[in-house]
């Protein structure tokens, strides 16, 4: 074995041993090589050819890419949740011949990567999730150090509830104590275990707004993050402005499972399947992040105030064009600040900053001329103008400046960075304002593009949806005819029991009512021809769909947990969606639990319920309790012997099982039904 081979493998092993949870990119000549299990893991993800190489007489799997392609591959690895160690090499001259020494030049994780523009892989939030126990619940601190955002969420301390939260916010790095009782190892999420002895309880979090209200266990979540970052890169600096405890006091109660089941913000297979994807016409990273947070954590807002702005914007096409023109030239203020306080910005960042501040002021001026009420505008206007003036005194602004070709001398760069550093708080306020405007622009653009209508916000508890349709389904299958349906619920008609054969349209209908109501609550136009609705306190669903995550628990148990949540939170101002309760139970258990739940929600919680079911006996509640009404979706067998669905919601109960007709269409032969079910006597005797 050559000296050189020995050298490489021992250097590699040394780095890998210290970084077991990261992918090691090992520079050998003009390539970065990935060796061993790392290669097996990532070759398919990066579309690299997996080969093998012989070291010390042993074959190792490996793959690699040219050094010039580094940033592209690093970004793809980060996007997939991997943390990376980059090992570079330098020549050192030995006594006899040149030798190569390798050294760790960079450790990049999904949250820290935004320090370098070339590795900044996404404009979305990049959260670290720090998890701990808080009494009998789990608490998760989500923190994005690159935009200075943090909040704490609470959930049951089981794998299912935790996974849903991590999935919703797309956390890629998860920190837990090494004795944390729940196993949450899953592909695409880097779980880092931290031992008690590593954590240092220090005061440096005292300056964060809201930290005074945190318990010791909640502060521990911060210390876990500090300990983790310190370990990766002790020089990283970040500033967090405030910490929000999300207990849902001033929010509409929408549990994470509902946000996932209604495809509001995250889809584990395709991301074009979500309401976020449909609504996201934002033109800045600040806008996209704000829209996502409105969808994942909808706050109680003055709905009409937001709708007024959207209506105004929809009517004024020229104004929309002016807004878009300015937004397109505004870059990520937050991440620029992150790079600046870490002294890693490049010239491009400064040029983008000047351009962004100029266009922010332009945008504010355009908006000030309009008769629009946007609460943050006056603050943003005075701060924006102040910073713009300071910068103009260094680089005089000219209207037709070509920023791409612009070269700023070093002393001016220094002067501008001083201005930014002195005004971080103000710039964050401008950045927040741009997020607000961009979100309003996006909602208006979508509402107009899709011909949605303004919901009428009323004081009573009626919900009236005329000709509603599922907005995501319609946009995904634009060449399919989508059948529109009404949903009209008032005091007399609060609980809908919906029957119908498989594939007849029950689930889609439930989800569409949920989504339309949700959209109205965030102040967006809605996909129907007319809508009236009041303020809702909660939208809660029990819809299957995340069963893969529920391993280790029976489907029925998860159903019951979600029903418990529904019983706890539903009131006369909420909407409950139940898709086939009791699927995982025996018929008798299914009927009993469905009946009890419906009676409770209807009679005692006095909430609105839409419940689909294959248990036809449940429809007997109609007539026994006033306000419960049966609806159904029809299926007909046409003259060619194929099933036809109308997808039209009608009053009454569906024709009971057409199992045999469906089975015949699926190819099950007629004789199958005539065979004896009872064991043959001859077989029993033997």
Ligand X SMILES: Nc1ncnc2c1ncn2[C@@H]1O[C@H](COP(=O)(O)OP(=O)(O)OP(=O)(O)O)[C@@H](O)[C@H]1O
Ordered alpha helix ranges (H), 458-554: 471-476, 506-521
- Of 259 and 498, nearer to Mg ion (C-beta) is 498
Task: Provide the minimum distance between the beta carbon of 614 and ligand X in the complex, in angstroms, as a whole number.
Answer: 7
Q: Tell whether residue 278 is a contact of ligand X (CB under 6 A).
A: no
Q: Which does 483 bind (CB under 5 to 8 A by kind): ligand X, Mg ion, none?
A: ligand X
Q: Which of 391, 394, 366, 364 is nearest to 379 (CA)?
A: 364
CB atoms within 10 A of CB 349: 20
Task: Dig out the tokens for 617 from the structure.
Answer: 């006996």
Cα distances from 494 to residues 16, 460, 470, 580, in angstroms, run: 61, 13, 21, 18
Residue linked to tokens 């809908």: 496
Q: Tell whether residue 500 is a contact of ligand X (CB under 6 A).
A: yes
- Of 405 and 479, nearer to ligand X (C-beta) is 479
Residues 69-98 binding ligand X (CB under 6 A) are none
- Of 303 and 543, nearer to Mg ion (C-beta) is 543
Q: Which does 236 bind (CB under 5 to 8 A by kind): ligand X, Mg ion, none?
A: none
Sole window of 100-108, 158-166, 368-376, 495-503 interacting with ligand X (rule: CB under 6 A): 495-503
Q: Which does 257 bind (CB under 5 to 8 A by kind): Mg ion, ligand X, none?
A: none
Task: Provide the minimum distance between the beta carbon of 613 and ligand X in the complex, in angstroms, as a whole number.
Answer: 9
Residue linked to tokens 């609980």: 495
List b or e across 106-132, with b for residues whose CB sees 16 or more CB atoms inside 10 angstroms. bbbbbbbbbbbbebbbbbebbbbbbbb
Alpha-carbon span 29 to 522, nearest angstrom: 55
- Of 198 and 663, nearer to ligand X (C-beta) is 663
Q: Tell whether residue 263 is a contact of ligand X (CB under 6 A).
A: no
Task: Provide the minimum distance between the beta carbon of 276 and ligand X in the complex, in angstroms, as a whole number.
Answer: 21
- Of 52 and 502, nearer to ligand X (C-beta) is 502
- Of 506 and 569, nearer to ligand X (C-beta) is 506
Find the binder of ligand X among 27, 102, 292, 506 (CB under 6 A).
506
Q: Which of 569, 591, 596 is nearest to 580 (CA)?
A: 591
Three-state SS for 599? helix
Residue linked to tokens 């002016």: 322
Burial of 612 (0-12, 13-18, 19+ CB in 10 A): buried
Q: Tell whether residue 482 is a contact of ligand X (CB under 6 A).
A: yes
Task: Provide the minimum distance between the beta carbon of 484 and ligand X in the complex, in angstroms, as a whole number.
Answer: 7
Q: Which of 176, 173, 222 is nearest to 200 (CA)?
A: 222
Contacts with ligand X: how many residues (CB under 6 A)?
Answer: 11
Contact between residue 226 and residue 141 where contact means Cβ atoms under 8 Å apart: no
Alpha-carbon span 533 to 650, nearest angstrom: 22
Find the binder of ligand X among 483, 599, 658, 663 (CB under 6 A).
483
Task: Dig out the tokens for 544 from the structure.
Answer: 């299957």
Task: Provide the minimum distance between the beta carbon of 583 and Mg ion in the complex, in angstroms, as a whole number.
Answer: 10
- Of 507 and 537, nearer to Mg ion (C-beta) is 507
CB atoms within 10 A of CB 305: 12
Residues 361-420 binding ligand X (CB under 6 A) are none
Q: Tell whether residue 507 is a contact of ligand X (CB under 6 A).
A: yes
Alpha-carbon span 195 to 230, nearest angstrom: 14
Pairing assessment for the beta strands 538-542 and 574-579 based on DSSP bridges: parallel
Q: Sheet with 58-66: list strands edge to edge.
A: 51-55, 58-66, 31-35, 23-28, 84-93, 98-108
Residue linked to tokens 């409770």: 600
Contact between residue 356 and residue 377 where contact means Cβ atoms under 8 Å apart: no
Q: Which does 281 bind (CB under 5 to 8 A by kind): Mg ion, ligand X, none?
A: none
- Of 287 and 468, nearer to ligand X (C-beta) is 468
Q: Tell whether residue 503 is a contact of ligand X (CB under 6 A).
A: yes
Find the binder of ligand X among 266, 504, 541, 619 (CB under 6 A).
504
- Of 52 and 636, nearer to ligand X (C-beta) is 636
CA atoms within 13 A on the CB side of 212: 3
Alpha-carbon span 598 to 624, nearest angstrom: 12
- Of 144 and 559, nearer to ligand X (C-beta) is 559
- Of 385 and 474, nearer to ligand X (C-beta) is 474
Alpha-carbon span 209 to 213, nearest angstrom: 9
- Of 284 and 507, nearer to Mg ion (C-beta) is 507
- Of 217 and 502, nearer to ligand X (C-beta) is 502
Q: Sheet with 643-651: list strands edge to edge.
A: 538-542, 574-579, 608-612, 495-499, 628-637, 643-651
Task: Provide the minimum distance between the beta carbon of 10 and ligand X in the complex, in angstroms, as a whole number.
Answer: 57
Task: Provide the minimum distance between the beta carbon of 505 and ligand X in the complex, in angstroms, as a whole number.
Answer: 3
Q: Which of 264, 255, 251, 435 is nearest to 334 (CA)?
A: 435
Find the binder of Mg ion among 507, 520, 521, 613 (CB under 5 A).
507
Sole window of 244-252, 355-363, 394-402, 504-512 interacting with ligand X (rule: CB under 6 A): 504-512
555-569 and 587-599 helices, crossing angle to 10°: 10
- Of 472 and 558, nearer to ligand X (C-beta) is 472
Task: Dig out the tokens for 372 from the structure.
Answer: 């629009």
Query: What character string, x for contact with ligand X (CB under 6 A) and - otherwise, covers 624-653?
Result: -----------------------x------
Sole window of 224-232, 369-377, 503-511, 671-679 interacting with Mg ion (rule: CB under 5 A): 503-511
Task: Provide the minimum distance between the beta carbon of 647 and Mg ion in the complex, in angstroms, as a whole number.
Answer: 13
Task: Provide the minimum distance between the beta carbon of 482 and ligand X in the complex, in angstroms, as a whole number.
Answer: 4
Task: Provide the minimum distance between the beta carbon of 372 and Mg ion in the complex, in angstroms, as a whole number.
Answer: 43
Q: Which does 500 bind (CB under 5 to 8 A by kind): Mg ion, ligand X, none?
A: ligand X
Q: Which does 191 bind (CB under 5 to 8 A by kind): ligand X, Mg ion, none?
A: none
Sole window of 176-184, 318-326, 502-510, 615-623 interacting with ligand X (rule: CB under 6 A): 502-510
Contact between residue 329 and residue 296 where contact means Cβ atoms under 8 Å apart: no
Q: Tell whether residue 508 is a contact of ligand X (CB under 6 A).
A: yes
Phi-psi region of 606 (alpha: psi -120 to 50; beta: other; left: phi over 0): left
Alpha-carbon span 191 to 163, nearest angstrom: 12
Q: Tell whether residue 505 is a contact of ligand X (CB under 6 A).
A: yes
Residues 313-352 binding ligand X (CB under 6 A) are none
Q: Which does 523 bind (CB under 5 to 8 A by kind): Mg ion, ligand X, none?
A: none
Residues 461-480 binding Mg ion (CB under 5 A) are none
φ, ψ at 92 (rounded to 5°): -125, 140
Task: Provide the minimum distance between the beta carbon of 550 and ligand X in the complex, in angstroms, as a whole number.
Answer: 18
Sole window of 156-164, 501-509, 598-606, 652-660 interacting with ligand X (rule: CB under 6 A): 501-509
Alpha-carbon span 182 to 190, nearest angstrom: 15
- Of 506 and 608, nearer to ligand X (C-beta) is 506
Task: Dig out the tokens for 125 from the structure.
Answer: 């939030």
CA atoms within 13 A on the CB side of 317: 2
Task: Provide the minimum distance between the beta carbon of 259 and Mg ion in the complex, in angstroms, as a whole number.
Answer: 19
Interface contacts to ligand X, rule CB under 6 A: 482-483, 500, 502-508, 647
Interface contacts to Mg ion, rule CB under 5 A: 507
């Amino acid at each position: 074995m050559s000296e050189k081979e020995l050298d490489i493998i021992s250097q590699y092993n040394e780095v890998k041993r210290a970084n077991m949870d990261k992918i090691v990119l090992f520079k050998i000549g003009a390539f970065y090589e990935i060796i061993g299990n790392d290669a097996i893991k990532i070759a398919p993800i990066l579309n690299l050819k997996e080969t093998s190489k012989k070291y010390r007489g042993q074959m190792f799997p490996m793959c690699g890419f040219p050094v010039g392609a580094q940033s592209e591959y690093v970004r793809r690895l980060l996007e997939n949740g991997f943390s990376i160690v980059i090992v570079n090499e330098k020549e050192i001259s030995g006594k006899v011949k040149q030798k190569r020494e390798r050294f760790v030049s960079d450790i990049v994780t999904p949250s820290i990567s935004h320090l370098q523009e070339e590795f900044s892989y996404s404009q979305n939030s990049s959260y670290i999730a720090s998890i701990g126990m808080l009494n009998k619940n789990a608490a998760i601190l989500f923190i994005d150090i690159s935009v200075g955002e943090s909040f704490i969420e609470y959930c049951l301390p089981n794998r299912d509830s935790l996974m849903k939260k991590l999935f919703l916010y797309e956390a890629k790095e998860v920190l837990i104590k090494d004795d944390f009782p729940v196993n949450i190892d899953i592909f695409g999420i880097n779980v880092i275990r931290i031992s008690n002895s590593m954590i240092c309880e220090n005061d440096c979090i005292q300056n964060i707004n809201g930290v005074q209200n945190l318990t010791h266990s909640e502060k521990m979540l911060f210390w876990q993050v500090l300990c983790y970052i310190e370990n990766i890169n002790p020089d990283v600096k970040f500033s967090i402005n405030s910490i929000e405890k999300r207990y849902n006091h001033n929010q509409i109660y929408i549990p994470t499972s509902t946000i996932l089941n209604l495809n509001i913000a995250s889809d584990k297979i395709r991301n074009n399947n979500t309401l976020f994807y449909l609504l996201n016409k934002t033109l800045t990273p600040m806008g996209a992040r704000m829209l996502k947070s409105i969808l994942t954590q909808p706050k109680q807002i003055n709905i009409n105030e937001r709708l007024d702005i959207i209506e105004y914007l929809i009517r004024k096409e020229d104004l929309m064009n002016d807004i878009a023109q300015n937004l397109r030239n505004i870059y990520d203020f937050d991440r620029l600040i992150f790079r600046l306080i870490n002294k890693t910005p490049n010239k491009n960042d400064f040029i983008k900053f000047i351009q962004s501040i100029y266009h922010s002021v332009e945008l504010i001026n355009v908006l000030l001329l309009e008769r629009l009420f946007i609460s943050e505008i006056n603050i943003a206007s005075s701060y924006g103008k102040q910073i713009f003036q300071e910068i103009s005194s260094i680089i005089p602004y000219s209207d037709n400046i070509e920023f791409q070709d612009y070269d700023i001398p070093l002393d001016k760069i220094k002067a501008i960075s001083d201005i930014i550093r002195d005004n971080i708080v103000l710039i964050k306020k401008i950045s927040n304002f741009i997020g607000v405007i961009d979100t309003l622009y996006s909602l208006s653009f979508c509402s107009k593009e899709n011909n949605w209508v303004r919901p009428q916000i009323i004081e009573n508890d009626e919900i009236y949806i005329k000709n509603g349709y599922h907005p995501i389904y319609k946009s995904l299958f634009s060449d399919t005819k989508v059948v529109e349906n009404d949903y009209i619920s008032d005091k007399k008609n609060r609980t809908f029991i919906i029957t119908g054969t498989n594939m007849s349209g029950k689930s889609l209908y439930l989800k569409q009512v949920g989504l339309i109501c949700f959209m109205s609550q965030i102040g967006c136009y809605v996909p129907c021809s007319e809508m009236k609705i009041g303020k809702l306190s909660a939208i809660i669903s029990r819809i299957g769909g995340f069963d893969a995550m529920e391993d280790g628990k029976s489907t029925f148990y998860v159903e019951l947990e979600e029903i418990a949540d529904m019983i706890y939170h539903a009131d006369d101002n909420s909407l409950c969606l139940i898709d086939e309760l009791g699927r995982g139970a025996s018929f008798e258990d299914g009927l009993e639990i469905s009946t009890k739940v419906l009676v409770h929600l209807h009679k005692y919680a006095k909430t609105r319920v839409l419940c689909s079911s294959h248990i036809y006996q449940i429809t007997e509640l109609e007539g026994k309790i006033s306000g419960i009404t049966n609806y159904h979706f029809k299926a007909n067998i046409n003259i060619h012997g194929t099933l036809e669905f109308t997808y039209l919601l009608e009053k009454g109960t569906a024709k009971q099982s057409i199992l045999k007709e469906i089975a015949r269409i699926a190819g099950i032969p007629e004789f199958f039904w005539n065979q004896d079910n009872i064991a043959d006597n001859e077989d029993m005797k033997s």
